[in-house]
Every structure is written in C-alpha cells, then in structure tokens.
Amino acid sequence: MKFNAMTAIAAVLFSVPGLVAADPDDDNLVINGEIEMTTKAEPPAHLDGALPEIMSGWHFRSDETQALQMDDFDNSGMIFVDEGMAQWNTVEGSEEKSCATCHEDPSSMKGVRASYPKWDEDAGEVQTLAMQINDCRENNMGAEPYGYTSGKMANMEALIAVQSRGMPVDVAIDGPARETWEKGKELYYTRTGQLELSCANCHEQNYGNMIRADHLSQGQINGFPTYRLKNAKLNTVHARFKGCVRDTRAETFKPGSDEFVALELYVASRGNGLSVEGPSVRN
Amino acid sequence: MEFSRRDTLALGLGAAAMTVLPFRVNAASDDAITAFTGGADVTEGGVDLTAPEIAENGNTVPISVGAEGASAIMVLAMGNPTPGVATFNFGELAGSQTASTRIRLAGTQEVVAIAKMADGSFARASSEVKVTIGGCGG
Amino acid sequence: MASGVRPRVKAPRSAEAGEVVTIKTLISHKMESGQRKDSDGNVIPRSIIHRFTCEFNGTSVIDVEMQPAISTNPYFEFEAKIPEAGDMVFTWYDDDGDVYTETKSVAMA
C-alpha cells in the first residue's frame, strides 16, 4: 500500500456516515398518539420572506431525541409539570392564597402560553409569562417572586404551557406592542460578541447546517420551557437566550431585562402558527 | 494512487480496532466483569443491546437490553471513568428479560451488555456509540 | 429527604390474569456522579439513587443496581407479568438513606 497517511485519514473521515445529511426531517409530531402538532407552517407575513417555512426545533433532532417528546411518559419534562401542579396548589404569601384559590384548575390557563409575551395595559409594558406569574405572586398572593429562570419558574411555565399544547402560537405585534417588537427585531439582527454573530447568522441564514456536530435549528421558542438532554432539566427562554449570546463571547443581557423581553416577543412572533409544544425535549 | 476495495476495508478495520482497543485493557471494567461472571467464559451473541449509533448528548443516551431467559443483565460503559452502569436482576414476575434506561457516556465508546443466562452461562453484546460535541454548547 | 424528589409511574389500572404489561418509571433526582467539581475545584460528593425495585404482591419483577452512569432523573421501562389483582410497589433507594416508594393497584380486567 503506497498511499500516504493524510489521504488514509481523510478517507476514513469521509466514510463516516451521518455527518453530511443535515436537512431537517419530514417526520410528524403526534404526542401520546393524540395531540397532532403543527411543526411546519407558512411563515407569518411580518417575516417578509426571511424564512420560506417556519419549523419547530423538533425537526432538527435525532430520531431518539424526537421519540422522547412523542409520549408524555418518555418526556422527562412532564415530571416538572407534576412539580408545577404541586406549586399551583401551595398556599403562599401574606394573602394566604395559592394559584388555585383564584384560577381553580390549571386548565383555566388554556391559551395563555400561546399569546405571551403580550401588552399589559395596566403595567404599560409588554409582559412575558414569567413576569405575569411573578406579578400575580407579588401583588395578588403577597409572596416572593420566583427567580426569573429558576426551577420553580420553569415548572410553573411548563404547567401553564402544557394547557395550550397543540394550539398555534399567536402573539400580537401590533398596537402598543409594536415598539417593543421593533426593538426585539433590531436585537435579532445585531451582531454581538467577539464572534460577531447575530441570532440571524445562525438561525435564519444557516438553519439546517451543522455547526461542528450540532444541527442548527431556526431557534424557534414554541417548545419552551424545554427539557434538554445536556443539563437534564427544564430550560427557560431567557436562560437559553443568555447561553446563546454568551457563546458569541459577549456580555449578555440579563434574564428579565427589557432587551430579552423584546427579543422574546420578536422570536415568539417568528413562530406564529407553530404549535405550543412546551415542555419539549431537545439535545 | 489508487484505493482498492481491499485497502479501504483494511483501513476501516484498522480504524475500528484503534477505537476499541484502548477499552479492552481497562482494568476496572475487567474487574466488574469478573465480579459478575466469576471468571466464567463469556460468549458473543444471544443478547440484544440497542443504543444509538450517534448520541446527540452524552448526558442522556437511551439504551435497551434484553436476553431471553436471562436472570440478570449487566451494562458497562467501557470508556467512562467508572465503567459500571447498571445491573438488571429479573424476578419471577418479570414479563420479559428486557429493560430500557438512559445513561451517561463520557465520550465515544463501546457499551457492553453481559447476560447471565438461566443455565449459568454468560453471553455478551456490544455497541459503539458516538457521542457528539455540540457546536457552541449554548 | 433529598429535596425535589418526585416519582412518576405508568402502569395499567387493570390486566387479565397472566397478562404481560409494560411499566415505565421516572423519578426526579440529580444523580450527582461524584465525578464533578464545584467552582472552587472541590469534588462534589456522589449522591445517587443506587437501587430500584419493583414487586408485585411481594414477588420481584425487577431489581436494578444503579451506578453513577445512570442519567439525571432516572428512567426505567420493563415488562411485568400480572398473575392476579394486587399492588405493584416501586422503591428507590437513595445514597443518603432515604427510600421513596410508589404503589399502583392493578385490578383484574
């Protein structure tokens, strides 16, 4: 055998299967054999053709990871929905109320996840679901707010999200929310960090491509909170934003900051039409 | 320069051997196997081991094992700092000698399942799982 | 009790005599491996669930010895033969001495 070592190594590397085919798949997401999810949809008009089709991050995962979301018992995120249910019924704070005192069964939250973040007339600002939960805790229950990206917040968000599972994300971007949305859009396209990457560089221009061994998705947030195999817990949207911005080697905005609230509204609006999936399962 | 089919095959086998060999000399896994088998011979085959070819994250890798009529199945991750993963002991009311769980793999490595059969003999199966490293890890 | 430990079990409410049924179990537990270090470089001590058992009316279905390589929030799926109506008892044994149990009653179909 006369061929040189480099060629030999290259030949072995290129013979490794599975690293080339990186397109998102065409599988259908049906949960428990019952809930049919819309994981691909026409892009909303306000995207102005930036994406030909909007797609859930589920399509970018391996068959093994996808399967974990197709059955509520295989989905480890559901155990935190149970945890959220316990929180829901726990009386806390000076008013001696639980969530259940006013809202009764969590099924009363159906549709809520699909419409947040949204403009709050009384507060005069766009509020995320996390802000609304803490608003309720502080002002109606007289209880301590949850940490913005804490486990308890993620549990409560998961409990509320699961009530809307299968409903299309439908956040409003008109009226008083417009200004916040525009700010979020600007952030989405602004390069940050030493790597000078914007959200769009990876999730609009390169979804479907591999970033080393990772399959880039569109960065949709319809599946949040999401149970990640990486850290084996529920992850909130702002914790994920922070991780992403950090990886551009930038000083990140804080979870709950005006910047991340605006970004959440904008990113959520890019998924208008996809089903609420939370709690989803990702890598 | 030309690659014959034979050259390519030899190269592939060589590469495969290189990946597997370091784990064969892992003393801790040898000890774990001996403790389970009492030093008895272990034959290939008769055990089902299902693991992904490529795991998206090494922290949570779904696996399934099964061996009809086995009284116990031990699972080892040969490349982990400590190779032991779990031993499934099947009771009288086991509906089958199968089980699934999710395991941690410190990197690309060989996962091994060794079954203790009803007649006291031992059988094994192994599967290589490639563990990918995320792009930016966010 | 270690905080935030919650079991979740999927078992059928009824079965026919002798039927083989699929059982799934999950328990929230961090399964600290003893391999990790904290931000000061000190090894975080191992703290795992090291054994899981399932019995039906006192007879063993499965008994699992668990090592630190079992993932956070341990999951098991297996099959059980149901000879009669009765109780299926699931037990998890924590390194810290705590024992978590869950019981599911199975009726005859």
Residue pair A113/A264 in contact (Cβ under 8 Å)? The answer is: no
pLDDT of residue B27: 80
Q: What is the pLDDT of residues A41-65, one digit of tens each?
A: 999 999 999 999 999 999 999 999 9
Residue A71 predicted with pLDDT over 70: yes
Tokens for B68? 């009809």
Kindly state the average pLDDT of the residues A174-198.
97
- Three-state secondary structure call for residue B103: strand
Q: Which long-range contacts (CB under 8 A, 24 or more apart) does A202-211 make?
A: A204/A50, A204/A51, A207/A24, A207/A55, A207/A60, A208/A22, A208/A23, A208/A24, A208/A60, A209/A22, A210/A19, A210/A22, A210/B135, A211/B135, A211/B136
Extended beta strands in C1-98, E state: 7-10, 14-15, 19-27, 49-56, 59-66, 75-82, 86-94
Kindly state the average pLDDT of the residues B76-98.
96
Q: Work out the mean pLDDT of chain A and round it to a whole number.
A: 92
Closest chain A C-alpha to B3 CA, distance in angstroms: 8
Query: Mutate which of C10, C25, C26 to disrupt the A interface (most A C-beta within 10 Å)?
Result: C26
Which amino acid is present at B110?
E
Q: Work out the mean pLDDT of chain C and round it to a whole number.
A: 95
Query: Looking up tokens 């699929």, which residue turns up?
Result: C22
Residues of B in contact with A11 (CB under 8 A): 3, 8, 11
CB spacing of C28 vs A83 below 8 angstroms: yes
Q: Work out the mean pLDDT of chain B and round it to a whole number.
A: 86
Cβ neighbours of residue A64 closer than 8 Å, sequence gap 6 or more: B52, B55, B56, B62
Closest chain C C-alpha to B52 CA, distance in angstroms: 16
Closest chain C C-alpha to A261 CA, distance in angstroms: 29
* A contact set with B (CB within 8 A): 1-3, 7-8, 11-12, 15, 18, 61-62, 64-65, 67-68, 210-214, 216, 228-232, 240, 243-244, 246-247, 283
* pLDDT band with cut points at 50, 70 and 90 for residue A6: very low
Q: What ipTM was estimated for this complex?
A: 0.94
What domains, with CATH codes, occur in chain B?
A: 13-129 (2.60.40.2470)
The Cα–Cα gap between A212 and A70 comes to: 27
Q: What is the pLDDT of residues C56-80, one digit of tens each?
A: 999 999 999 999 999 999 999 999 9
Closest CA to C27 of C102, C87, C97, C98: C102
pLDDT of residue B138: 52
pLDDT of residue C94: 97
Q: Which of C35, C66, C81 is nearest residue B95 as measured by Cβ atoms?
A: C81
Q: Within 10 Å of residue B138's Cβ, how many Cβ atoms?
A: 17
Tokens for A265? 């509204």
Q: What is the pLDDT of residues A197-238, one digit of tens each?
A: 999 999 999 999 988 888 999 999 999 999 999 999 999 999
| Percentage of chain B exceeding pLDDT 70 | 78
pLDDT of residue A12: 41
CB spacing of A151 vs C6 below 8 angstroms: no
C75 touches chain A (CB under 8 A): yes
- Structural Rg of chain C based on CA atoms: 16
Q: Which of B7, B134, B138 is nearest residue A213 as measured by Cβ atoms?
A: B134
Positions of A annotated as catalytic residues are: 244
pTM over 0.95: no
Closest CA to C6 of C36, C39, C24, C28: C28
CB spacing of A79 vs C71 below 8 angstroms: no
pLDDT of residue B133: 72
Q: How far is CA A98 from CA A15, A146, B77, in A?
A: 59, 14, 46
pLDDT of residue B137: 57
Kindly state the average pLDDT of the residues B32-57.
94
* pLDDT band with cut points at 50, 70 and 90 for residue A149: very high
Closest chain C C-alpha to A77 CA, distance in angstroms: 10
The Cα–Cα gap between A225 and A206 comes to: 24
Q: Which of C4, C10, C26 is nearest residue A76 as measured by Cβ atoms?
A: C26
Q: Which of C54, C55, C67 is nearest residue B86 as measured by Cβ atoms?
A: C67
The Cα–Cα gap between B126 and B47 comes to: 9
Residues of B in contact with A230 (CB under 8 A): 57, 59, 134, 137
The Cα–Cα gap between A61 and A71 comes to: 16
What domains, with CATH codes, occur in chain C?
A: 6-33+44-108 (2.60.40.10)
Residue pair A123/A134 in contact (Cβ under 8 Å)? The answer is: no
- Three-state secondary structure call for residue C66: strand
pLDDT of residue A14: 40
